[in-house]
Structure 1
Amino acid sequence: MTGMTWGSSRSLEGRSPLRTGPSRPIELRHEAAGPWSGRQPSEAGGAMEPRLPGALTGTKPALIVPVFGAPGEISGLAERASAAGADIIEWRADLSEDWDSCADILADSELPTIATVRSDREGGRFPGTGHDYAAAAMKIAAMGFDVLDVEIKRSSAFQIFPVAHDHGIPVIASHHNFKETPRDVEIIEILEEMVEAEADLLKVAFQPAHADDTWRQMELSRGLHGRFGVPIISISMGHDAAWSRLAAHACGSAATFGTVGGESAPGQLDAALVRSVLDALDR
């Protein structure tokens, strides 16, 4: 399988666009399931049922740590994430080089991995069309990661979900808005769209204009906890809202994010700090 490549790593600035080959259909293939794999055998036979890692379905927020860069950097960051107390790694493919090598390295990690290719429309570096996005997402899914992140607003999203599920891969439906925090009714509509797509976990991240936006989003998330029958990750982005990342438990968010390297989104705090706060609040 030919890996897709990126430019230099670690910082979000100065990334070169993804170099992709000709567009062509890409099919998922089965991979050997590790101890943390989201693929679980069904009772009906050899089919694999999607199942989220336990850390995302527990009673306390999971700590997710993004890693990205060249393969050598990925290895070191994954080790640092584990040492900092991460529950899950998020591999940002759109910020990484040599996807195949990165996948091989992360397969040896003791932590489950969410694979994400974030588009330039939602704060990432993937510049492709809807078809390109679908091809990239399916290629990543075929590498055997535990969970796949799919942007719900991509035109190809509803094509990706059933393919991933058919291969036993749980899917996070995500939406990031770096301009504003929408009205409550609009946020609910986005979440309902994710539920319609049969997402296994719903993730929304918004940019607040002021502190009231952050409080409003947290209150809405708390009120929606348990409504859709699947976990929700709700994030208020930006440095002014960074404190809210330490209060995921208060709004019913299934996870929060911390960093051991460069930020993958504004407002992320040091993973070890986040871990210590989560543990203190769990006592």
Structure 2
Amino acid sequence: MKPILVRGQPLAQGALPAVCIPLVGKTAPALLSEARAAAAKQPHLVEWRVDFFEGIADASAVAGLAQELRTAAGVPLLFTRRSRREGGEAIALDEPQVADLYRVVCERQVADLVDVEMESPLVAPMVAAAGQHGVPTVLSFHDFQRTPPLQELLARFRQAKDLGADVGKLAVMPRSKADVLVLLQATLQASETLDIPVAGMAMGPLGAVSRVCGGVFGSALTFAVGQAASAPGQIPIDELRAALAVLRSAG
């Protein structure tokens, strides 16, 4: 597994993935409460799903709150706007406005990583803006309907690399146990052939196992529930940590 680096340092040590808690509050007080609760759980990083935030239209306020959340959580912050087409909330911003929001967040150095969807029409300038300010980019793709075939998943991981990702991330919905195996195989092959860290996860109840064992197959990142989930199949962090400890001791 290639670790995810922030300021040249790996988020997690050893062979297990970094554990991320999502923050999904709609208001600043709710988010700060989530961040303080996350700090007590000691994840490797937190993800602010800003599409849940009711004040998303004020870029300056978002940047200020991002800094507060990072301080409250005490760990690196991944800044993410998830679009409706990939499972996110409806927001009152168009894509150029989203790109401008990311530019402000990166300019002010208030996020340690940013997540940009590969399917965004403005993916190139958003990646460039992050790179200009030294903020690593997670290039992501989510399919809430199905698990694409192996070659399509591998092509998505390569697309992330080709677009300039520091981390490539795929999340898919399995309809069978075999789909989970396809996701894990794609993650393993991508981790062995690409020179960037990758993260692969299957969602929903069938995919929950991938959130536990994904690191064994090269996934550098997994998501766990602090107070609220951001995607189906996420496991409470205490339970996830216990399962990862079993894998660590067995390995």
TM-score higher than 0.5 here? yes
The count of residues paired between Structure 1 and Structure 2 equals: 235
Q: Which residue is 2:191 aligned to? A: 225
Listed one character per residue, the Cα deviations across residues 48-67 of structure 1 (whole Å, up to 9, x for unaligned) are xxx5x511585321110001
Of 200-209 and 55-64, deviating more is 55-64
| Equivalent residue in structure 2 for 1:111, among 60, 75, 81 | 75
Larger radius of gyration: 1
| Equivalent residue in structure 2 for 1:209, among 164, 175, 189 | 175
State the AA in 2 paired with 1:119: S
CA contact (8 A) 2:22 2:46 kept: yes
How has the CA–CA distance of structure 1 residues 158 and 57 changed in structure 2, closer, same or farther, with 3 Å as cutoff? farther
Whole-Å separation in 2 of the counterparts to 1:202 and 1:100: 24
Q: Which has the higher helix share?
A: 2
CA contact (8 A) 2:113 2:137 kept: yes
State the AA in 2 paired with 1:65: I
| Equivalent residue in structure 2 for 1:266, among 232, 246, 249 | 232
CA contact (8 A) 1:133 1:156 kept: no
Whole-Å separation in 2 of the counterparts to 1:221 and 1:82: 29
Of 214-223 and 203-212, deviating more is 214-223
Alignment pair present for 1:253 and 2:219: yes
> Which residues in structure 2 correspond to 1:1-283 (within 5 Å)?
38=6, 51=8, 54-55=10-11, 59-69=15-25, 70-98=27-55, 99-108=62-71, 109-127=73-91, 128-143=93-108, 144-283=110-249
Whole-Å separation in 2 of the counterparts to 1:131 and 1:100: 17
1:189 CA drift (Å): 1.4
1:213 CA drift (Å): 0.3
CA contact (8 A) 1:57 1:231 kept: no
TM-score (norm 2): 0.86
Whole-Å separation in 2 of the counterparts to 1:210 and 1:280: 25
CA contact (8 A) 2:15 2:216 kept: no
Name stretches of at least 5 consecutive residues in structure 1 with no aligned partner: 1-36, 41-50
**RMSD of the alignment, in Å?**
2.0
1:224 CA drift (Å): 2.4
Name stretches of at least 5 consecutive residues in structure 2 with no aligned partner: 56-61
1:100 CA drift (Å): 4.2
Q: Which residue is 1:24 aligned to? A: none
SS of the residue aligned with 1:163? Answer: helix
